[in-house]
Each structure stands twice: as C-alpha cells, then as structure tokens.
Amino acid sequence: MNVQKIKEEITQMKTSLSFLEESLKGIQQNCEHRFDGDQYYEKCLKCDKVNVLYY
C-alpha cells in the first residue's frame, strides 16, 4: 500500500464515518427514548443514546 492509496482510504472512511454519524444522529433525534440507568448515567434502550447526568 502506498501513501496515495492510504490517503484515499482515509478520505473514504471519513466520508462513510460522517454519513454513519449523521444517520445515527437522525435515528436518535426521532427516537421516543426509553431511558434506563441510575442517577449518574442513563441510556436509551431503543437507540443507545447516553445521558450523563452528573460529572
């Protein structure tokens, strides 16, 4: 694998990564969350969205 090829791969991966992140964000925005957890941390059972409640 040469440098050019590696750079191409990186670009492609970044593109699909941001596509996936957007898809995930869309799902989580439209989810009717059902959170489960404790007073510090809760996670939606349906979309895996995490809320940290105390730091």
Q: Given the rule CB under 5 A, which of 1-9, 13-21, 25-33 is the region that contacts Zn ion?
A: 25-33
Nearer of residues 13 and 24 to Zn ion, judged by Cβ:
24
Closest contact distance (angstroms) between CB of 6 and Zn ion is: 37
Sign of the four-CA dihedral 18, 20, 26, 28: negative
Q: Applying CB under 5 A, which part among 9-17, 18-26, 45-53 lies near Zn ion?
A: 45-53
Give the strand pairing for 50-52 and 35-37. Answer: unpaired
Does residue 44 bind Zn ion (CB under 5 A)?
Answer: yes
Task: Report the distance separating Cα 52 and Cα 21, nearest Å.
Answer: 20
